[in-house]
């Protein structure tokens, strides 16, 4: 980002706004401080002058002029250095004792019945000592005593002057402080903008087609790094989805090309010459079978896409997995018997979760279809529901050929078919759909060796507040579920 563009950014505008606000608040605080401090010093000084004057007047009333003169003379040495001024004068104004050379003319207005503190002008020729080398405007109070003599007390205002000088210095430094705060705000804004610019550049590269770009993460581990990590995870997920979409497109094109070619060739061959009704019916039957296979492929892809996109999340409801297993067991028991297999259901109690009953049923049906398809005659199939500390498992175990452990992850991918040499091999979307449905329910699809055969497990999270009970399950080979915890 160019420096010329910095002033138009919201970060700099915010820094200027808060700097002005800070400057206004600081100015108001300095004004209040100056006013309150000046008032406090003035009131304290006036009270001290009044008390000092009344104390000296009391000494005169009790001891007379000689005692008052000795008391003032005793104070003069310290008074010259501390800025205190005393003058005890006769009725004609001639000095008797004190550190003023004559009675100030302006002090005559203070000779009233009540003691009042006023500021009077003292010329430099009146002041004794070097406390003030020039004329001074000092607070003072005067009193006419009973015998007609006069008494004056004044105080130096260096403390007040120091405070005023400090306030003036603070006011003079205020623009520099505000400017420094503004620089700090702009520098912080510039640092933030640099990090935002890195995110913006990455976004532009991604929009240009480079899906491998990621937002840089610093070692500061702050909120920007947390955001960058979150966005990088999202970008990785998007890249995986797009890569998967490209692969799906290629696989769909490849898988649909054969049935479409068969349909076209069959129609051409059928139309080459006149045939019997049975031949036409057979051609139509085969065409319908190929069309149904294509429809099943499209429906499976659609269900997987909906599950991955979370489109069914709004339709979640309570699902009793035990009841679901029993219903599917009753549905598949005659199918298994027809294939020469035995199907056993082990599901007791009630295990409810929040889920989509149709999708969960479709997932179990896919696993049962695979078990029936790949288990040889005389084999056994087990459908079970098991609860343990890791979650609730929907288990379909068989005694078929199983799946090599090295292929456990690959078979979850779309269009992966390990038994493609079989005449009844499917489209390779069944396990991918089961995995998508499990992830849609915040679960996972796992596999384990059933010795012999395969144990397919849909592991779903326990509902909140549920009791983590353990229900043992006996599998078709009479083994316990001890091996399940190793999955």
Instruction: Provide the pLDDT confidence category of residue 186 given band limits of 50, 70 and 90.
Output: low
Nearest to 42 by CA among 161, 219, 147, 149: 161
Specify whether 103 is located in the same domain as 45: yes
- 15 and 126 part of one domain: yes
188, part of any domain: no
Same-domain check for residues 298 and 332: no
CATH number at residue 58: 3.30.450.20
* Residue 391: pLDDT band with limits 50, 70, 90: confident
Q: CATH number of the domain that 342 lies in?
A: 3.30.565.10
300 shares its domain with 319: no
Binned at pLDDT 50, 70 and 90, residue 455 comes out as very high
Query: 297 and 323, same structural domain?
Result: no
pLDDT-based confidence at 472, cuts 50/70/90? Answer: very low
Bridge partners (DSSP) listed for residue 120: 138
The tens digit of pLDDT for each residue in 57-110 reads: 899 888 888 998 999 888 887 776 777 888 999 988 889 998 888 888 888 878
- 28 and 78 share one domain: yes
pTM of the model: 0.45
- In terms of average pLDDT, the best of 146-160, 166-180, 279-293, 331-345 is 331-345
Say if 178 falls within a structural domain: no
Rounded Cα gap, residues 295 and 289, in angstroms? 10
Beta carbons within 8 Å of 260's beta carbon, 6+ residues apart = 294
Q: What is the pLDDT of residue 253?
A: 66
CB atoms within 10 A of CB 274: 7
What CATH number did the domain enclosing 289 receive? 1.10.287
CA 161 to chain centroid, in Å, comes to 52
Query: Measuring CA to CA, which residue among 382, 331, 359, 338 is closest to residue 436?
Result: 359
Q: Looking at the structure, tell me whether residues 150 and 238 fall in a common domain.
A: no
pLDDT (0 to 100) of residue 471: 42
Residue range(s) defining the domain that contains residue 92: 3-161
On whether residue 403 sits in a domain, the answer given is yes
Omega before 200 within 30 of 0, i.e. cis: no
Tally of domains in the chain: 3
CA distances from 429 to 263, 296, 297 (A): 22, 10, 7
- Do 328 and 275 share a domain, yes or no? no
Closest Cα to residue 140, out of 78, 77, 98, 81? 98
Pick the more confident residue, 160 or 244.
244
């Amino acid at each position: 980002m160019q420096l010329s563009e910095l002033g138009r950014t919201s970060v700099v505008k915010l820094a200027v706004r808060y700097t002005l606000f800070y400057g206004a608040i600081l100015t108001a605080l300095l004004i209040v401080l100056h006013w309150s401090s000046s008032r406090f010093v003035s009131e304290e000084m006036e009270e001290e002058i009044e008390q000092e004057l009344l104390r000296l007047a009391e000494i005169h009333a009790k001891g007379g002029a000689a005692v008052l003169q000795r008391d003032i003379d005793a104070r003069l040495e310290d008074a010259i250095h501390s800025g205190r001024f005393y003058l005890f004068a006769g009725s004609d104004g001639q000095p008797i004792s004190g550190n003023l050379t004559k009675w100030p003319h302006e002090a005559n207005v203070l000779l009233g019945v009540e003691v009042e503190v006023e500021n009077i002008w003292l010329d430099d020729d009146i002041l004794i000592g070097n406390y003030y080398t020039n004329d001074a405007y000092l607070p003072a109070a005067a009193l006419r005593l009973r015998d007609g003599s006069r008494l004056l007390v004044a105080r130096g205002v260096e403390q007040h002057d120091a405070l005023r000088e400090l306030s003036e210095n603070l006011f003079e430094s205020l623009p520099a402080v505000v400017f420094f705060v503004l620089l700090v705000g702009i520098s912080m804004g510039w640092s933030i903008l640099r990090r935002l610019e890195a995110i913006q550049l990455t976004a532009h590269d991604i929009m240009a087609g480079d899906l491998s770009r990621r937002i840089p993460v610093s070692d500061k581990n702050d909120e920007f790094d947390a955001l960058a990590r979150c966005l990088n995870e999202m970008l990785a997920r998007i890249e995986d989805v797009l890569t998967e979409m490209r692969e799906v497109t290629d696989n769909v094109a490849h898988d649909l090309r054969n049935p479409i070619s068969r349909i076209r060739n069959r129609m051409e061959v059928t139309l080459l010459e006149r045939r019997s009704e049975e031949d036409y019916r057979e051609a139509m039957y085969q065409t319908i079978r190929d069309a149904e296979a294509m429809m099943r492929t499209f429906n499976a892809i659609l269900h997987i896409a909906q599950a991955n996109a979370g489109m069914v999340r709004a339709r979640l409801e309570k699902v009793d997995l035990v009841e679901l297993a029993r219903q599917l067991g009753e549905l598949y028991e005659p199918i298994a018997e027809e294939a020469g297999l035995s199907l056993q259901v082990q599901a007791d109690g009630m295990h409810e979760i929040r889920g989509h009953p149709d999708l969960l049923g479709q997932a179990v049906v896919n696993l049962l279809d695979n078990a029936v398809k790949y288990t040889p005659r005389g084999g056994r199939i087990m459908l079970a529901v098991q609860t343990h500390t890791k979650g609730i498992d929907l288990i379909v175990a068989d005694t078929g050929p199983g799946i090599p452990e090295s292929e456990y992850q690959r078979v979850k991918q779309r269009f992966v078919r390990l038994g493609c040499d079989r005449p009844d091999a499917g489209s390779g979307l069944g396990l991918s759909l089961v995995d998508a449905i499990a992830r849609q329910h915040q679960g996972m699809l796992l596999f384990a060796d059933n010795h012999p055969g395969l144990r397919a497990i849909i592991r779903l999270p326990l509902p909140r507040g549920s009791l983590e009970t353990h229900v043992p399950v006996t599998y078709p080979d009479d083994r316990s579920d001890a091996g399940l915890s190793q999955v």
